[in-house]
Structure 1
Amino acid sequence: MNQDRRDRLRDAAVVVLAESGGRGLTHRAVDAAADVPTGTAKNYFPTRDALLRAVAERCVEQYRALAASLAGAGPGPADAGQLAALLAGLLRDVAGPGRPRVLAYLELQTEGTRRPWLAALLDPIAAADFAAHAHLLRTAGLPAGPERARALTLALHGAIPHLLSGAPATLAAAGLDDLDRFARGLLASVLPEEPR
């Protein structure tokens, strides 16, 4: 099979899932989004599960590419200020260019509650975030025990759906209307000053 066309279909499926949700992810919708003849997606991904698997694999690939680009961008944050800037930048990506990938991933997580094989396929993404955040804390010279890495990761994961919905009152209530301030405050909460 043609790998370029397969990737085009997978990218289109990510967009369809992000824009139309699980019910909107059909072979016909993917064909239309990829601008290919009707039936093309069905030839590459014959079943709905095959189509879901293709989207999940593409999301995992995109996540790994983003992680690799961050790893290749230099030694990492040198202090809490740089780490806060990095976290704010990641959240901006979620609300901006990464939005379709993240929305598709959240839709896949929901599907994964009914399809254990799909949850297993997505598991490395979320699991990797805990280790990645612990690494970032250490690189920045900050305490990076498992509890702090978990708190940071879970707070960021919890912020994402609110950020994606874009509801102004919720964004303001969560502090997500100013991502730089949010990231600084999150680090301050996760890393309280040691008592003297």
Structure 2
Amino acid sequence: MNQDRRDRLRDAAVAVLAESGGRGLTHRAVDAAADVPTGTAKNYFPTRDALLRAVAERCLEQYRALAASLAGAGPGPADPDGLAALLAGLLRDVAGPGRPRVLAYLELQTEGTRRPWLAALLDPIAAADFAAHAHLLRAAGLPAGAERARALTLALHGAIPHLLAGAPATLAAAGLDDLDRFARGLLAAVRPEGDR
């Protein structure tokens, strides 16, 4: 099979899933989004489960590429201000250019509640965030115990649906209307009292 066409179809499937949700992810919709002849997606991914697996694998590849690019930038920000800037930037990506990828991932998580094989495929993505955030806390000179890494990770994950929905009152109530301030406040919240 043609790998370029396969990747084009997988990228189109990510876009369709992000835009139309789980019910909108059909072979025909992927063909249209990829601008290929009808039936092409079905030739590459014969079943709906195969199509979901292709999207999940593409999301996992994109996640690993993002993680590798962050690792390639060095050990991470060397101070809390640098880490706050990085976290704010990641949240901006969620609300901006990374929005389709994150929406597709959330749709896959929902599908995973009914498909254990899909949940198992997605598990490494979210699980890796806990270790990555502990590493970033350490690199910035902050306490990086498991509880603090969990608190940071879960707070960031919890912010994502609100950023995607973009409801102004909710964003303001959550402090997500100013991502720099939100990130600084989040780091302050996970620091022990004596370190502030």
TM-score class, shorter: over 0.9
Q: What's the offset of the Cα at 1:143?
A: 0.3
- Whether 1:192 and 2:192 are equivalent positions in the alignment is yes
Q: Which deviates the most, 8-17 or 66-75?
A: 66-75
The secondary structure found in structure 1 opposite 2:173 is helix
The secondary structure found in structure 2 opposite 1:194 is helix
Q: Which deviates the most, 130-139 or 65-74?
A: 65-74
Q: What is the alpha-carbon distance in structure 2 between the residues aligned to residue 185 and residue 192 of structure 1?
A: 13
Q: Which deviates the most, 74-83 or 126-135?
A: 74-83
Distance change (3 Å), C-alpha of 1:63 and 1:195: closer
Identity of aligned residues (%): 94
- The answer for the alignment partner of 1:93 in structure 2 is 93
Q: What is the alpha-carbon distance in structure 2 between the residues aligned to residue 195 and residue 4 of structure 1?
A: 51
Q: What's the offset of the Cα at 1:162?
A: 0.3
Q: CA-to-partner distance for each residue in 1:65-100, whole Å, 9 max, x for gaps? A: 011111111231111110000000000111111111
The secondary structure found in structure 1 opposite 2:194 is coil
Q: CA-to-partner distance for each residue in 1:115-149, whole Å, 9 max, x for gaps? A: 00000000000000000000000011110000000
Q: CA-to-partner distance for each residue in 1:19-58, whole Å, 9 max, x for gaps? A: 0000000000000000000000000000000000000000
Q: What is the alpha-carbon distance in structure 2 between the residues aligned to residue 175 and residue 55 of structure 1?
A: 32
Give the root-mean-square deviation of aligned CA atoms: 1.1
Q: What is the alpha-carbon distance in structure 1 between the residues aligned to residue 64 and residue 170 of structure 2?
A: 30
Q: What's the offset of the Cα at 1:192?
A: 3.4
Q: What is the alpha-carbon distance in structure 2 between the residues aligned to residue 191 and residue 184 of structure 1?
A: 11
Q: What is the alpha-carbon distance in structure 1 between the residues aligned to residue 6 and residue 120 of structure 2?
A: 23
Distance change (3 Å), C-alpha of 1:37 and 1:135: same
Q: Which deviates the most, 71-80 or 28-37?
A: 71-80
Q: CA-to-partner distance for each residue in 1:137-191, whole Å, 9 max, x for gaps? A: 0011110000000000000000000000000001000000000000000011111
Q: What is the alpha-carbon distance in structure 1 between the residues aligned to residue 52 and residue 100 of structure 2?
A: 15
Count residues with an aligned counterpart: 196
Distance change (3 Å), C-alpha of 1:39 and 1:134: same
Q: What is the alpha-carbon distance in structure 1 between the residues aligned to residue 71 and residue 90 of structure 2?
A: 13
Q: What's the offset of the Cα at 1:195?
A: 7.9
Structure 2 residue ranges without an equivalent (≥5): none
- The answer for the alignment partner of 2:44 in structure 1 is 44
- The answer for the alignment partner of 2:15 in structure 1 is 15
Q: What is the alpha-carbon distance in structure 2 between the residues aligned to residue 195 and residue 139 of structure 1?
A: 16
Distance change (3 Å), C-alpha of 1:108 and 1:195: closer
- The answer for the alignment partner of 1:130 in structure 2 is 130
Q: What is the alpha-carbon distance in structure 2 between the residues aligned to residue 195 and residue 118 of structure 1?
A: 41
